[in-house]
Amino acid sequence: MPRSSRIWVHMKNAPLGGLTILFLLVMAALFAEFIAPHSPIDQDITQALKVPFFLKGGTLSHLLGTDELGRDILSRIIFGARISLVVGFIAVAISGFIGTCLGLISGYFGGKIDSIIMRVVDVQLSMPYILIALALIGALGPSLRNIIIVIGITSWVDYGRVIRGEVLSVKENEFVDLAKIAGCSTYRILLKHIFPSVVNSLIVLGTLMLGRIIIFEAALSFLGLGVQPPTPSWGIMLADGRQYLTYAWWLATFPGLAIMLVVLGTNLVGDWLRDMLDPRQRAVVRGKR
Amino acid sequence: MSGEEKILEVKNLKTYFFTNMGVVKAVDGGSFHLKKGQSLGIVGESGSGKSVTSLSILRLVPKPAGRIVEGKILYRGEDLVKKSQKEMRQYRGKKLFMISQDPMTSLNPVFNIGNQIGEAIRRRQNVKGNDLREKIIEMLKLVHIRSSENLIHAYPHQFSGGMKQRAMISMALACQPEILIADEPTTALDVTIQAQILKLMEEIRQKYNTSIILITHDLGVIAKFCEYILVMYAGKIVERADVKTLFKGNKHPYTRGLINSLPHLGKKQQRLSSIRGQPPDLLNLPAGCPFEPRCDYSIERCSHEYPPTESAGKGHLISCWRWREI
Amino acid sequence: MKGEAILEAKNIKKYFLMGKEGIFSKKARMIKAVDGINFSLYKGQTFGLVGESGCGKSTIGRCILRLYRITDGEMLFQGKNIDIFDGKEKMQYHRDVQAVFQDPYGSLNPRMRVGEFIEEPMLVHGILNSRGRRERVKKLLEVVGLSADQARRFPHEFSGGQRQRICIARALSLNPKLLILDEPVSALDVSIRAQILNLLMDLQEEFGLTYLFISHDLSVVEHISDLVAVMYLAKIVEMAPCERIFKNPLHPYTQALLSAIPVPDPELAQEAIILEGDITDPITLEKGCPFRNRCFNASEECTEKEPKLIEVEPNHLVACLKIR
């Protein structure tokens, strides 16, 4: 069965909703300046707490209403996408890199080094990540750069454990032994034989982690540990909007919806990627043993 | 040895798998029957459809991809294809029993052996307590598991491969099935253990007059154990005959090629004769006879017309255009 | 018949420590996978190593390949002890000794094109340049019966038998002297086995290769081997030229093993010698013959003394107290 046909079969099942959401997210992040109707930080007290356009009294110039300082919610959400995406991708990259390296080493070499790394993982997992974040931000000071670092450092454990598990099973294949008896260096074995077999998990995990990290960033910003005002982050918008929940619900609801949709999108796409990249899909009917 | 009574009749069975990448005709028009107390062998390689045949009889074809699209499976006149899963439960584990290659997946790892055999016994009789315990020990003794007293409390993972299969057979005995289907029961076992298991199965057949369907790729096992044999290739039964005729008087190129390609213990040859080509790709079967690409006797007709089943003697049926010349 | 010995195994022992580390821990169990094996591989010949699961035959293969370090004994390749190789000698050894393993599906890296896979050993050893290697890959593919244009394909496009051919091509790429074949056809369809066996025999003749053929399938071993050794629970119990062992097996285990093999000929109805019980768990055994609990000839002395492998007829070695 040619590879191209298999890929086509999976394309047919692509989650259009999830992909659309992610596409919109990326577009918003890249072209915020051109898409957003207003500046996200311009204040206009006279326009404060305007309702969204579909309620009585709303206008088309502020489709999703305004916040307590008269800033356009829609524009802030669009610019907020940039923050979420930047944090998301960079943190995923950092944690992915650390997690993969340690996972590879841990899984392949086993023994003492595996025990040590796994102990570090256990210790880190036993501490509530909010506490770690608080401590680190306390030391480094709240900023975009710092929350990226913090999130990256705390999230690597998920990668580490998953990759280690994959490595343990890949290691058992005969082709690894064949590489050894061909005289391959350990480095080459890890790079050319072990790593390519775990890449799939990496991609899938990355997509799923993106959603979680975006939530993480929102949480930290909500607590005031992340980006500082007036930079619009969905987390900050949630925090600001909390006090107005009863009579100006749109301040918190729309950013909340944005977060939810993005996470949903990443989960759907991640699931689809996992199915598509799963080599077991190939075993459809090659020959039953 | 076996009577004349036909207890199982399979008529034109077609089991297909509907996958993302096309339809796989795992069993494509198989017909055969099984007599009481007979040992029937189904031999074939990967993709032949032999396992799917047994799953079809037990109505355990994996859903939703797999489905019996046509055919009848008559067990004592009752068509099993028409039964619901609920009705099939009256048959499975009672009149029809299956042993598979990996007993680890058939034995429940969370219950000890005594429990599982006991459950099999209780399906037939209402026994409890000490009576049940005695029956369990009796069952284990029948399969030559000695010191059964202690082993009742053992868990499957504590057993070796051979013992697990014997435990499965003792469960089969407890159910006293009319038909025992053994799908590659000894493939994963060592040769000396295999001999034990085959002997045990033969004892059962003699003692309880159980019909046995033995599915395997091992022609040696087939020769030793089976009275009548079906040879399958790419979902079709290409030849069938009693054991002597199949080995000495076969007429299908596949059967012949297969038997000739085996290294014969005691007869060292210079070079083994082999069947050229690759096993069939069930997603891309040629029109006509599926064996044609590998056949040394093929003619023009073979590539677009599947040959009819013809008789070459008593009980000897073949599907080949050129069997008369072979 | 016997040429020079290119590999000599002298009293090879390989023990595994299972459970807690440290031999002083109560939980540690010592598994004697190989317990005092002696044999030699002669140039251009096939040595068949036969036995059932747990006998240690695969372990020996891995020891020879240096995937395991031997616990005791000497393994000499062309006179040199392979345990004390320095970097350069180690690389040379890899060029001289290669392997084909049992599982054609696990033996190929699913993400590597088969051409790259076959090329890899040459790349690692810096042989030829990029173009030269690619030419050689094409030649190797043809030598094993595949076509050169398949180098760009991925493993999943090939069947089991074809995958084994690819593995054989890779094994040949460095012009080895010795090939360790660990159950090379056991996982293949019956109709394909003959193809691969024929290929292996042709290659042996063409390239003057020496084979260590490890298998549990006696009929295959008989077909391809010159010398055969039968293993049981970490020891060799019988060793002789091929025809001898099959025509006149002396050790009770060998006899039982041969009688248990179902021959694909209904007219040769043999009664198998049924061995009671299972193969004993290979943990530390007490003294005596490891086969005694299943042997139909066993007696008192078999629990006391351990039999040594001795030559009872010319070239025919047996480890049994009853056979002198």
Tell me which residue in A3, A181, A193 faces C94 most closely, judged by beta carbons. Answer: A181
- Which are the contacts of A60, defined by CB distance < 8 A and separation ≥ 6? A53
Closest CA–CA distance from residue A2 to any residue of chain C (Å): 8
**Residue C175 or residue B267, greater confidence:** C175
**Complex prediction ipTM:** 0.89
Contact assignment for A288 to B21 by CB distance below 8 Å = no
Residue of B nearest to A6 (CA): B21
- Omega into C155 within 30° of 0, i.e. cis? no
Q: What is the pLDDT of residues C1-12, one digit of tens each?
A: 457 899 999 999
Q: Is A11 on the interface with B (CB under 8 A)?
A: no
Q: What is the pLDDT of residues C222-262, one digit of tens each?
A: 999 999 999 998 899 999 999 999 999 999 999 988 888 88
Chain A residues whose beta carbon lies within 8 Å of the beta carbon of residue B21: 1, 5-6, 9, 284
Contact assignment for A181 to C167 by CB distance below 8 Å = no
**Residue B55 or residue B326, greater confidence:** B55
Greatest Cα pair distance, chain C, in angstroms, is 68
Closest CA–CA distance from residue A282 to any residue of chain B (Å): 10
Alpha-carbon distance C111 to C158, whole Å? Answer: 13
Closest CA–CA distance from residue C260 to any residue of chain B (Å): 6
Q: What is the pLDDT of residues C31-69, one digit of tens each?
A: 888 989 999 999 999 999 999 888 889 999 999 999 999
Alpha-carbon distance B23 to B282, whole Å? Answer: 9
Helix (H) or strand (E) holding C305, with range, is: none
Q: Is the pLDDT of residue B2 over 60?
A: no
State the DSSP code for A189. I
Q: Kind of pairing, strands B316-319 and B309-313?
A: antiparallel
Residue of C nearest to A196 (CA): C111
Closest CA–CA distance from residue A210 to any residue of chain C (Å): 26
Residue of C nearest to A174 (CA): C107
Q: Is B19 on the interface with A (CB under 8 A)?
A: yes
Residues of A with a Cβ under 8 Å from any C Cβ are 3, 172-175, 177-185, 188, 192-193, 196-197, 199, 279, 282, 287
Helix axes C130-143, C114-124, angle to 10 degrees: 120
Mean per-residue pLDDT, C128-149: 92
Burial class (CB in 10 A: 0-12, 13-18, 19+), B324: exposed
- For residues A175-211, one letter each, b for 16 or more C-beta atoms within 10 angstroms of the residue's C-beta and e for the rest, the string is bbbbbbbbbbeeebbbebbbbebbebbbbbbbbbbbb
Tell me which residue in B191, B259, B268 faces C216 most closely, judged by beta carbons. Answer: B191
* CA neighbor of C182 nearest in space, from C37, C38, C56: C56
Mean per-residue pLDDT, B141-160: 77
Torsion angle, alpha carbons of C232, C234, C235, C239, to 10: 60
Q: Is A2 on the interface with B (CB under 8 A)?
A: no
Q: Which pair of tokens denotes residue C174?
A: 């460095």
Contact assignment for A175 to C106 by CB distance below 8 Å = yes
Chain A residues whose beta carbon lies within 8 Å of the beta carbon of residue C85: none
Contact assignment for A175 to C90 by CB distance below 8 Å = no
- For residues A117-127, one letter each, b for 16 or more C-beta atoms within 10 angstroms of the residue's C-beta and e for the rest, the string is bbeebeeeeee
Q: Is the pLDDT of residue B168 over 90?
A: no
State residue A284's pLDDT score.
38
Chain A: touching chains (3 or more CB pairs < 8 Å): B, C
**Residue A202 or residue B160, greater confidence:** A202
Q: Is the pLDDT of residue B301 over 50?
A: yes
Contact assignment for A182 to C154 by CB distance below 8 Å = no
Count chain A–chain B contacts defined by CB atoms under 8 A.
28
Q: What is the pLDDT of residues C252-303, one digit of tens each?
A: 999 988 888 888 888 776 677 777 766 665 444 567 788 887 888 878 888 7
Closest CA–CA distance from residue B234 to any residue of chain A (Å): 10
Tell me which residue in B19, B45, B51 faces A285 most closely, judged by beta carbons. Answer: B19
Mean per-residue pLDDT, B201-226: 90
Q: Is the pLDDT of residue C313 over 90?
A: no
Evaluate whether C158 touches C107 at the Cβ level (below 8 Å). no
Q: What is the pLDDT of residues B236-260, one digit of tens each?
A: 999 999 999 999 999 999 999 999 8
Closest CA–CA distance from residue C222 to any residue of chain B (Å): 7
Alpha-carbon distance C131 to C149, whole Å? Answer: 15
Tell me which residue in B222, B248, B264 faces C219 most closely, judged by beta carbons. Answer: B264
State residue C284's pLDDT score.
45
Q: What is the mean pLDDT of each run of 10 residues along chain A (289 residues)?
A: 58 81 86 83 81 81 83 88 87 92 93 91 87 86 85 88 92 93 93 91 87 85 81 85 86 88 88 74 36
Strand partners, A23: none
Contact assignment for A9 to B282 by CB distance below 8 Å = no
Q: Average pLDDT over chain C, rounded to whole? A: 88
Closest CA–CA distance from residue B73 to any residue of chain C (Å): 29
- Omega into B307 within 30° of 0, i.e. cis? no
Contact assignment for C67 to A197 by CB distance below 8 Å = no
Q: What is the DSSP string of A194-218?
A: IHHHHHHHHHHHHHHHHHHHHHHHH
State residue A117's pLDDT score.
93
State residue C94's pLDDT score.
94
Q: Taking the model in full, what pTM does it have?
A: 0.85
Chain A residues whose beta carbon lies within 8 Å of the beta carbon of residue C90: 183
Evaluate whether B14 touches B68 at the Cβ level (below 8 Å). yes
- For residues B78-113, one letter each, b for 16 or more C-beta atoms within 10 angstroms of the residue's C-beta and e for the rest, the string is eebbebeeeeeeebbbeebbbbbbebeebbeeeebb
